Every structure is written in C-alpha cells, then in structure tokens.
Structure 1
Amino acid sequence: MSAPAKPRPGLLANRDFTRFWFGETVSLFGVRITALALPLTAVLALDANPGHLGVLWFLTYLPYLFAMPFGVLVDRLAKRPLMIAANLLRGVLIGLVPVLAALDMLSMGVLYAITLGIAFGTVLFEVCWQSYVPVLVSKEDLVAANGRVTASWSAAESAGPGLGGLLVQALTAPFALVANAFSYLVSVWTLWRIKVPEPRPAPSGRRVGWEMRDGFAFVVRQPLLRAIVMSGAVYNFFYVFLEALFVIYAVEVLGFSAGLIGLVLSIGAIGGILGASLAARFVRRFPFGRVYIVADLIGVCGPLLIPLVTGPTVLAVIGVTTGFLVMRAGSAVANTASISLRQAVTPPDMLGRMNAGMRTLMWSPQTLGALAGGYLGTVVGIRAGLFVAGVGCLLSALPLLLSRIPALRELPSVPVVRETRESVPT
C-alpha cells in the first residue's frame, strides 16, 4: 500500500508571499491616508478651489492611459526590483510634501507634479504585483493569494479614511502624509527580504511598439479576457457616475452629515473584507465560473439599492449602507476571481502587458464617466442620475454572462494557456 500523499502546504507556509502581503497591506493603508490628506493639503494649505481638485484627480488617473509601456518593461525585466523602485519613488515624492510645506515652498504646481509622479509609480507597481503573485504562489493558491490582497484593499478602504482623518486632525494635512511615506518604506523592506528566485525574462529582440501591440492583441483576442475587459469598462464608466453624484445626493437629498457618510462608506467596505476572505473557500466548494458570475451579479445589484430610498430617515441609512455592503461584498469575490483567471490564462512572458492592457482598457472610461455623470445629474436630477448608474452597472454583467466563464469548473490549466498564446499572431 502506498503511503498517503502529504498535504500540500498552503499560503501560511509561504513566507515570501506573506512578506509581500504584509508590505502591500501597510502601503494600501498609506494610499488611503494620502487619498484624503493630499486633497486636504491642497484645500487647507493652498486654498485650492474645486477646479484645482479636479485637476488633481485627473492627474491621478492620467497614467492609466499610458500603462502599456510599463507592461512591456515588466515583461522584459525582473518585477521585484521594479516594485522596489516604484515604492521608493512614491515614498520620496510623498515625503517631499511636508518638507516643502515646512519650508513654505509648496504650491499647486508643485503638488500637481508630485501627484503625477506618484500616479506613475502607482501604475507601475500595480502592473508589477499582479504579474508577480504567480511567481510567489502556485496556481492552486492564486485565488487565496489574490483574495488576501483584495481583503487588505477592502480593509484599507474601510479604516483608511478614518485613520487619515485622525492624522490630519492631529498633525495637519501635509504632515499626515509622513505616514504614507513610511508605509512605502515598509513595503520596500518586505520586498527586499523576499528570497524566491525570479526567472529573468529572455530578451525578445523586438521593438517596444510591437510588444505593446501584442499585449493589446492578446487581451482583445483572448475570449475570457475580452469578456472581462468589456464588463469592467462598462462597470467603471457607470460606477464613476455613482462617485460623482453620491456625496451630493447624501447631503442634499438624504440629509446625511459628513460623519454619517464616512460611517456608511466604512461599513460598506466591510462587505469587501468578508467577500475577499471567503473567495477561496467558495471556489474550493463550488465551480469557479458559477462563483465568479453569482458574485458579480450580487455586486452590480448594489448600486441600484442606493437611489431607492429618499429623505433623512433611518430607512435611508439602512438602504444606502446595504447597497454599499452588497456592492463591496460581491465585487470583492468577483475581483478576486477575475484577477486569478487573468493570471491563469496568460503565459508568464505576457503577464505585464496583459495587466497593463487590462488597466488601460478598463480604467480609461472613468475619465469620461465622471464628466458624463456630473452632466447627467445636472440635466435629469441627482436621483435619476444614480438610477442610470445602477442600471449601467447591472448591464456590465452581460459580457460575462454571454462568455464561457459561467461554464468554467476550475481555473484553466497550462495546456489551455499555451493554446491561447499560440492563437495570437505576433
């Protein structure tokens, strides 16, 4: 009789992934502190107006339009040194803000430049980490690993704004950014301690432009990735409607105070923590495609609950909170499944360009979505605009429902990956 097979060690035994996860968790909290402290620095220290803040947010998203060159870089070079460089850049730039403020040398122009530099570092890091996780863990652990990072993101979404508010109140807005600079240094230290060898990509000998074309072609022609891109682009376009209109709706229609708005958003983010924590368990117990689709349908139904209630009542608080809770919980599971599926169907030499192409195609609509949402809210009313956002988010599930994703029982195997790669002409 053969000896029983030893149980496969899971993520708990993977020290390198644990180091990466810890550093990423700390830096994600720093990012959420900056998301509050940087605009407050502009308002409180530089007397910024809404136009200035609009430019800050525009510069935050602008680098996503140029993510593909980063994808080529990630596929050509080792990823860990690039991640270290990206976080060093972000840490130094964030640390400059309190220094310049103390020297009375901070201006809106300088803050614009710092914001743009930080945004480019963020895009590079995000393209890297989603390409680096498959180096650290096996395919069997991809869902669990991505779920942990998603849970950290949700936790930062929940607690980060409150922590940022306390730091701004205690230290003033510019000096609260010191916490974020420190968080990036923690991430650099944890990345430096990772021991797993990373195979260095072989030189392709091809021009950057051709490699960028290959990356976009792979995303568009691979049927599973194409469905994810179409769904994500539609969702992001309409979700920005919600972001553009919700605060005004909460204050003017529902009568929420600023503190209550923060509480509602924080409770809603808890749904993301729960969803991401349970994603791997769901995938082990149920077919992968069914988990992905059901979670996505739950998530896209959440925005429709928000404009259903009106007036400053307890029912309004419960309704809006439930909407965000449902949206975050479903989206966390769906996002974890989406990232894992993208990593599974992409060959290692294409991961950087795939992630960059997905970022560009899915995030670019947000710029137009913010403008369209604000215009629609002005023309048809805030509540009607939120209903349009909810219906649009619901429609984003159609590309997934019409794809082969619902039929997947598990993540595709390596032979499917190779077959898909060979089907893309170069």
Structure 2
Amino acid sequence: MSDGQKRWWRRNPDFSRFWFGETVSLFGTQVTNLALPLTAVIILQASPEELGVLRSLAFLPFLFLALPFGVLADRRAKRPLMIISNLLRAGLVGLVPLLAALDSLTMVGLAVIVAAIGVCTVLFEVCWLSYVPVIVGKDDLVAANGRVSASASAAEFAGPGLGGLLVQVLTAPFALAVNAGSYLASVLSLWTIKAREEIRPSGERHLGREIKEGIMFIVGQPYLRILAVAGASFNFCYMFVEALFVVYAVRELQFDPGLIGLVVALSAIGGVLGAAYAARIVSRHHFGKVYATAVVVGYTGPLLIPLATGPTVLAVIGVTTGFFLMRAGLALSNVAGTSLRQAVTPPELMGRMTAGMRTLMWGIGTTGAIVGGVVGGQLGLRTGLWIAAIGFLVAALPILLSRIPRLREIPSMDAVRTV
C-alpha cells in the first residue's frame, strides 16, 4: 500500500465504518448461501426443483424492483434506506431458526422469506453502490471499490468453509442466526457514519418518467452503454458456465464434491488478489490499458475449463487456473468499471444509473443458466462449455473496440460531457 493510500485510509473514517460493516455482512451472506439450501434439504426434504425455485426467488426481485428502487435512492437519503434494508434482512434471516425451533417452518414459508430477503438485497445493492461516492472522493473511488470487492472475494473464499463448520456445530437453520447478527453489525456501522448527503430537489416527480430518465442516461452515455452491454454479456456467459460446470466436473472429470469445493475456493483467491491490488495498479498505470488487460485475462480464462482432460491432477490444475484467471480479471475490471460508472454519473442520477445497470446485467445474465442447461443437454456438457468460452471472447469485443482502453485516467463528469 502506498503512502497516499495510507493517508486516504486515515482521513476517511466514514468509509472505514462502512467497509467494516459490509465485510461482516458479506461473510454472513456466504454462511446463508450454504445454510439456507441445507435447511431446505435436511429439514424440509426439498426436491431439486424446489431448490431451483428458491435460488430464482433470491434474484428475481432484481428484474422487477431495481428500477423503482433506483428512483427511491435518488429521491431519499441512501444511508437510512440501507439501515432499514439490513434491519429487515436480519429479522427475516433470524425468522428461519425461530420457525424451525417451533417446528413451524414450511417450504412455502421459506420461499416467502427468501423472496423478501431478495427484495431487501436489491434495495441495499442499489443504495450502497450509489452511496460510496457520497463518502469517498473521485480520486479514491478505485481504492474504495477495491476494498469492498476484495472483501466480497475473501468472503467467497472463506465463507463456505465457515458456513460448513457452523452448520456442523449448530445445524443448518441455527447457523443462519450468524448472518442475522452480521446484518446487525452492518447496521451499527452505518449508524455511526457522519457524512451528510445532499438531496437535490427535482421538481415534479413521476415514477415512470424518472425510470426512463435513468435508462436514457445509460443509453446516451458512451462509457455506460458499453459497460452495460459487456457486463450483461459476461453475466450471461458466466451463468451459462455455472449451469454446466458442476455436472461436467462430476460426470466427465470425476471430481468429488470436496474437490469441487477446493477448486471454487482456490479460484476465489484470484478475485481477492485482483480486487486487493486494483487501486495500486490503476494508480500507477494507464487506466484504459489496465481495464482492457483485466478484460482480456478475465474473458479468456474460461477457455481452459473445457480444455481440462486427462488425469485428475491435470484436470484440477486446468479448471482451477481457468476460474482463477476469470475471477482475477473480473475483480480488477469490476473495480475499475464501477469506479468509472460512479465518476461519470451526476449525483442526482446515481441511484437510477446503478439500478438500470443492475437490471440490464442481471436481467440478461440470469437467462444464461436456462440457455446453458438446454445447450448442455442437447449438445453435450463439454460442447456447451466451449460455446460459453467463445461467448466470453465475443463479450470482450465491445470493451476492446470502445474508447475506454484509450482513457489515461478516470474522467470527470465535465470531461465526459464533451465526449
């Protein structure tokens, strides 16, 4: 860490508080990602189809609620909305072990809880991405986003192991109480932030008109337009791979569940490193070239996954390297891309921009799992993974052919208006 970064860290206690709370809640979320489906399987004897419905309910609110929540985030102070979101998530997650203890937990009840948690997650996600520029200056956006991204990657690396231990000791439903506590830790951290938000009056308000304004801003802003297309394409291919990889690993590579977990954990280290060094790399090198290099690394890594054959050791090395490169490139490009989005967006549009980008990226991205399942079933698992790998290369083209690789540094809003 450079001296400048250390000075930034010392002079911004508000971000330190936010980052601490978010890190704790991210680890808690990883516990829930393991404990909740185990609760459904062990306690409620859920079928694979029911587990699929539970997973979809967690993401479905992004499609329908991100845009109106973006309007809300632009109309209101974001910190109170984030506090309310995490208070509700703490209560909803804590409801699962309570119902289990009372022998009142049902599949329908669990589905309702998951959907409600998903709604709160959408509101929090829209708000925090819009809130970081409130407590962090433009020059420190990359460092701030890098810290949050590194926490997310670290949680993905260590969270499943922690979740497995807690499930083993506490049983699945009661392990969820840990995540309820993590959301409360985030609430306390947010409560102590002292930065004031400036809420700008926007005259007469109309939900549909405000949503349209946010979407048109994304479509009309050259950098955001490219990031939306590339991000949606990447998510589509990523979900495509996710739909096929576990089945491919078990049936064709003969990986056991523990080995699959090891591959996932080791590849997550790539995300930790990419996010942790993002600020240092961007500060020392040409922004556009760094971003383009991260895209090339992240989008070509998946080519190694269908290439993996032969003895198990070689297959493990090939698959792990492919996912490691994808996660490292993705983490660095996400940090840089998120910072670019925040830098070129006026504060009064930040919530709607974030919501619009989330809707476009997740809306298209979630269909990748469905398409991947169909293609893998019809053409074979390895063929399906090759199609996805080629899709990643196509997804990189909008970035590589755009103006973004020519950016020496992150532009300001004033500079972007002349583009």
**Mapped partners of 1:373, 1:392: distance in 2:** 12
Correspondence for 2:48 among 41, 44, 50 = 50
Equivalent pair of 2:100/2:173 in contact (CA under 8 Å): yes
Contact 1:95 1:178 in 2 (8 A): yes
Tell me how far 1:8 sits from its aligned partner.
Answer: 9.7
Tell me which residue corresponds to 1:371.
370
How does 1:163-312 map onto structure 2 within 5 Å?
A: 163-312=162-311
Output the aligned Cα RMSD. Answer: 1.4
- Residue range with higher mean Cα deviation, 6-15 or 269-278: 6-15
Letter in 2 for 1:175: F
Aligned positions of 1:357-396 closer than 5 A: 357-396=356-395
Judged with a 3 Å threshold, the aligned counterparts in structure 2 of structure 1 residues 395 and 357 are, in CA distance, closer, same or farther, namely: same
Cα deviation for residue 52 of structure 1 reads 0.3
Tell me if the contact between 1:309 and 1:315 (Cα under 8 Å) persists in the aligned partners.
yes
**Which whole-Å CA distance do the structure 1 matches of 2:10 and 2:402 have between them?**
34
Q: 1:104 aligned to 2:103?
A: yes
- 1:104-123 alignment runs, 5 A limit: 104-123=103-122
AA of the residue aligned to 2:313: V
How far 1:200 moved relative to its partner?
A: 2.3
Aligned pair in 2 of structure 1 residues 323, 8: CA closer, same or farther (>3 Å)?
A: closer
1-structure distance, mates of 2:5, 2:92:
46
Distance 1:169 1:256 in 2: 23
- Tell me the secondary structure at the aligned position of residue 310 of structure 1: coil
**Distance (whole Å) between structure 1 residues aligned to residue 16 and residue 416 of structure 2:** 27
SS of residue in 1 equivalent to 2:382: helix
Give the match for residue 350 of structure 1.
Answer: 349
Residue 21 of structure 2 is aligned with which of 20, 23, 33? 23
Structure 1 letter corresponding to 2:325: V
Unaligned runs of at least 5 residues, structure 2: none
Q: Report if the CA contact (8 A) 1:344-1:417 is conserved.
A: no
SS in 1 for 2:43: helix
1:10 and 2:8 matched: yes
The 2-side partners of 1:314 and 1:419 are apart by 54
Instruction: Quote the residue 1:423 is aligned against.
Output: none
How far apart are residue 181 of structure 1 and its match? 0.4
Write the distance in 1 (CA, Å) between the matches of 2:280 and 2:196. 29
The whole-number CA distance in structure 2 between the counterparts of 1:366 and 1:234 is 7
Note if contact 2:74-2:349 (Cα within 8 Å) is conserved in structure 1. Answer: yes
Amino acid at match of 2:60: L
- Decide which of 51, 58, 61 is 2:59's aligned counterpart: 61
2:31, 2:159 within 8 Å by CA — same for their partners in 1? yes
Residue aligning to 1:136: 135
Instruction: Check 1:382–1:8 CA distance in 2 against 1; reply closer, same or farther (3 A cut).
Output: closer
Instruction: Answer yes or no: is the 8 Å Cα contact 1:347–1:418 preserved in 2.
Output: no
Secondary structure in 2 aligned to 1:24? helix
Moved more, 336-345 or 255-264: 255-264
TM-aligned CA deviation for residue 108 of structure 1: 0.8
Cα distance in 1 between the residues matched to 2:365 and 2:410: 29
Q: Is the 8 A contact 1:253 1:311 kept in 2?
A: no
Aligned-partner Cα distance in 2 for 1:406–1:398: 11
Q: Which runs of 4+ in 1 moved over 6 A?
A: none
Contact 1:87 1:184 in 2 (8 A): yes
Instruction: Quote the offset at 1:260 in angstroms.
Output: 1.0
Cα distance between partner residues in 1 of 2:224 and 2:199? 25
Question: Does structure 1 residue 406 correspond to structure 2 residue 405?
Answer: yes
State the distance in 2 between where 1:7 and 1:369 align: 39
Where does structure 1 lack aligned partners over 5 or more consecutive residues?
1-5, 421-426
CA-CA distance at 1:169 after TM superposition: 1.2
Please tell me whether the aligned partners of residues 94 and 181 of structure 1 are also in contact (alpha carbons under 8 angstroms).
yes
The 2-side partners of 1:397 and 1:12 are apart by 37
Identify the residue that residue 313 of structure 2 maps to in structure 1: 314
Please give the alpha-carbon distance, in whole angstroms, between the structure 1 residues aligned to 2:187 and 2:127: 14
- Evaluate the alpha carbon distance shift between residue 418 and residue 85 of structure 1 in structure 2; reply closer, same or farther with a 3 A threshold: farther
Contact 1:256-1:312 within 8 A present in 2 as well: no
Find the partner of 1:40 among 38, 41, 44: 38
Q: CA shift at 1:366, angstroms?
A: 2.7
CA–CA separation in structure 2 for the residues paired with 1:414 and 1:387: 40
- 2:83 maps to what in 1? 84
Check if 1:331 corresponds to 2:330. Answer: yes
- What secondary structure sits across from 1:397 in the alignment? helix
How far, CA to CA, are the matches of 2:48 and 2:132 in structure 1? 39
> What amino acid sits opposite 1:11 in the alignment?
W
**In structure 2, what is the Cα distance between the partners aligned to 1:400 and 1:418?**
20
Alpha-carbon shift at residue 155 of structure 1 (Å): 0.2
TM-score using structure 2 length: 0.97
Task: Specify the code of the residue in structure 1 equivalent to 2:395.
Answer: S
**Residues 81-116 of structure 1, C-alpha deviation per residue, up to 9 Å, x if partnerless?**
000000011110000000001111111111111001
Distance, in Å, in 1 between the alignment partners of 2:223 and 2:403 is 7
Moved more, 406-415 or 173-182: 406-415
How far apart in 1 are the matches of 2:375 and 2:316? 24
| Structure 1 residue 398 displacement after superposition | 0.8
Partner deviation per Cα, 1:246-294 (whole Å, 9 max, x = no partner): 1111111111111111111111001111111111111111111111111
Other structure's SS at 1:81 match: helix
1:203 to partner: Cα distance: 4.0
Q: Which amino acid aligns with 1:165?
A: G
CA separation in 1, counterparts of 2:5 and 2:274? 26
In structure 1, distance between residues paired with 2:377 and 2:7: 56
1:45 to partner: Cα distance: 0.6
C-alpha distance in structure 1 between counterparts of 2:77 and 2:202, whole Å: 12
CA distance in 2, matches of 1:394, 1:105: 49
Match of 1:158 in 2: 157
Residues 291 and 199 (structure 1 numbering): CA distance in 2 closer, same or farther, change over 3 Å?
same
Deviation at 1:312, TM superposition (A): 4.4
CA distance in 1, matches of 2:417, 2:209: 20
Distance 1:7 1:275 in 2: 17
- 1:60-90 C-alpha deviation (Å, 9 max, x unpaired): 1111112100000000000000000000111
Q: Number of aligned pairs?
A: 415
